[in-house]
Structure 1
Amino acid sequence: METKKPGLVYTLKVVRVSDLGYVLDLEDGKEVLLHRSEAKSKHEEGNMVEVFLYQDHEGRLAATETIPKVRLDSLAWLEVAGVNRKLGVFLHIGIKKDILLSKDDLPESWDEWPHLGDRVYSGMKLDKKGRIFADLATEEEMVEQAEAATEEMFNQQTSGYVYKMNEAGVLLFTESGHIGFIHNDELKVKPRLGQKLGARVAFVREDGRMNLSMRARKEIAYSEDSERIYQYLRENKGQMPLTDKSSPEEIKETFQMSKAAFKRALGKLLKEEKIIQEDGKTYLQI
């Protein structure tokens, strides 16, 4: 006879009614309590009840009639309900007990951990003691549920949640069900797992994925970047130790923009005769 496992839904028979709730038969010589606070209605001996099994805060097997968003045999988008740097992040699954996404399954840097309210696509897994933990979806599982983007989406705005990060950038699963990639040069924030980001579709690839950008189209970006530099000069006594000859690292540190974008923005200001460059510095034109 199959042993009933935490993390799954079963239909079980009420064998006794007690002051605490309803004792359910696990059919393997064991029983589990459906506490009155976890029951949706009153039951009598002999009733069949659909419940989800989990371990309570004291490690005991327990039952609830509230069926969670995710189980051992399913995946779902789960919201971050708490963060504990020693353990990981807790995800809300729709029942009273949240489940832990272990720090072992999270990025090494805390800056890249999800925050409260962020969302991750996750399933469940059991450890050797039968305790339920969150289990991040694999790349294959993300691809399985994704739809192919179409050319009509080019230049449209979209939004989604970061589900993977690598040295080149981040992968998003959009709210419209597509996969998009944002290169580091096209990011305007330091991203974290589970974060919701808005971006523009810069390119639709043949494989149905999208290249995304958080930056405006070039003609708009020129103006925005030029204005940022101009305001910076006004706030710093009309000068800065940067020119179009400065290193990409220096420019990135000050303005969070690429050297190419910086040179374009400076070119606009030079053409408008708002600035001059002398001796390795840029000055406001008086």
Structure 2
Amino acid sequence: MLEAGKKVKLRVERQAPFGYFLSDGETDVLLHESEINKEITIGSEVEVFLYHDNQERLAASQLEPFIALDEFGWLEVVDIHPRMGAFLNNGLHKDLLLPADQLPEIKSKWPEPGDRVYVQVEHDKQGRMLAVLGKEDDFVRISKPAPESLFNQDVNGYIYKIIKIGAFLFTEGQHLAFLHRDEATEPLRVGQRIEARVSRVREEDGRLNITMRQRKEVSYSQDAEKIYAYLQERGGRMPYTDKTDPDIIKQKFGISKAAFKRALGKLMKEGRAYQEDGWTILHG
């Protein structure tokens, strides 16, 4: 019995206006002209990959899929249908469906075109190919422990699972990583590629804890420059100091009171500002 998702050898039976009909002796399938990349002759045997076309008919292709039935691989998202799910490029003219029930309930966490997901090809109840997201055990199987030398280094990778307290990442170095929601600097989605810094290499299993937040020294510098620019815009004076209420600091500068004090301290240490009578003032 012919099944979608597999390579088979079939006999070329006859030509049609839009391709060729192939057969295993019992079932005829169409090899559309757009799916032909090698010479075809009537009566010969050809190796083809079987799939269901847009009319849900079993069809053949000489194109090579990136992954076949029961195989795993990383596929790029090419389109999103809010009801059906995500469509993936599997190397054929017809894209592979990753059903909506495989994706997070919150649609803002769904992948976007250009993202990449790790999936396995399976059959649905009608025997059609569909994609299923890789599970934790699948990632454990292909991962390797991270070396201690990765501590405080930047890593890149793809988010493969999002839970209430954070997201799981598979790095391009094949390491497993966890990003706590407090360490994220933007909304996250499945399939998203991010760059983050390693905050911990777990000794027991070589997994990583990562953060998208900048190193403190970089953050201090950026906050200090923001405050310095604000002072310049106000003629070199502002009625905010390290004694100002935290809510006012948050409203005016978008940072915490602690971050404000660190940045202000940097400006004063560098001799660019000083405080006097409840004001912060630029030097000369």
Residue pair 1:8, 1:73 contacting (<8 A) in 2 also: no
- CA separation in 2, counterparts of 1:233 and 1:222? 17
Report which stretch shifted further, 153-162 or 219-228.
Answer: 219-228
**Pairwise CA distance, 1:147:** 1.8
Residue pair 2:79, 2:87 contacting (<8 A) in 1 also: yes
- CA separation in 2, counterparts of 1:120 and 1:43? 35
Residue 65 of structure 1 aligns to which amino acid in structure 2?
Q
- CA separation in 2, counterparts of 1:180 and 1:231? 38
Equivalent pairs: percent with the same residue?
Answer: 39
Aligned to 2:216: 218
**Pairwise CA distance, 1:100:** 1.6
From 131, 148, 155, give the equivalent of 2:128.
Answer: 131
Aligned to 2:101, the other structure's residue is in SS state helix
Aligned to 1:68: 65
Residue pair 2:231, 2:281 contacting (<8 A) in 1 also: no
**Pairwise CA distance, 1:193:** 0.9
Q: TM-score, with normalisation over the residues of structure 2?
A: 0.83
Q: Residues 181-192 of structure 1: matches in 2 within 5 Å?
A: 181-192=178-189
**Pairwise CA distance, 1:272:** 4.0
Aligned to 1:199: 196
Aligned to 2:56: 59
Cα pair distance change 1:71/1:62, threshold 3 Å: same
For structure 1, the 5+ residue unaligned runs are none
Aligned to 1:31: 28
Q: Residues 8-23 of structure 1: matches in 2 within 5 Å?
A: 8-23=6-21
**Pairwise CA distance, 1:267:** 3.2
Cα pair distance change 1:109/1:154, threshold 3 Å: same
Cα pair distance change 1:141/1:221, threshold 3 Å: same
**Pairwise CA distance, 1:141:** 0.7
Q: TM-score, with normalisation over the residues of structure 1?
A: 0.82
- CA separation in 1, counterparts of 2:144 and 2:79? 31
Cα pair distance change 1:50/1:225, threshold 3 Å: farther
From 150, 156, 159, give the equivalent of 2:156.
Answer: 159
- CA separation in 1, counterparts of 2:227 and 2:97? 45
- CA separation in 1, counterparts of 2:48 and 2:156? 36
Residue 37 of structure 2 aligns to which amino acid in structure 1?
K
Give a deviation string over 1:169-210, Cα, whole Å, max 9, x none: 111111122111111222111111111101112221121211
Cα pair distance change 1:243/1:93, threshold 3 Å: farther
Q: 2:262 matched to 1:267?
A: yes
Give a deviation string over 1:101-125, Cα, whole Å, max 9, x none: 1222111222111111111111222
Q: 2:147 matched to 1:150?
A: yes
CA RMSD of aligned residues (A): 3.2
Residue 26 of structure 1 aligns to which amino acid in structure 2?
D
Give a deviation string over 1:25-66, Cα, whole Å, max 9, x none: 235x21211122211122223322221111111111111011
- CA separation in 2, counterparts of 1:146 and 1:185? 25
Aligned to 2:141, the other structure's residue is in SS state helix
Cα pair distance change 1:213/1:85, threshold 3 Å: same
Q: Residues 61-100 of structure 1: matches in 2 within 5 Å?
A: 61-100=58-97
- CA separation in 2, counterparts of 1:119 and 1:226? 38
For structure 2, the 5+ residue unaligned runs are none
Give a deviation string over 1:57-85, Cα, whole Å, max 9, x none: 11111110112112222111111111121
How many positions carry a matched residue from both structures?
274
Aligned to 2:172: 175
Residue 84 of structure 2 aligns to which amino acid in structure 1?
L
Cα pair distance change 1:88/1:153, threshold 3 Å: same
Report which stretch shifted further, 160-169 or 208-217.
Answer: 208-217
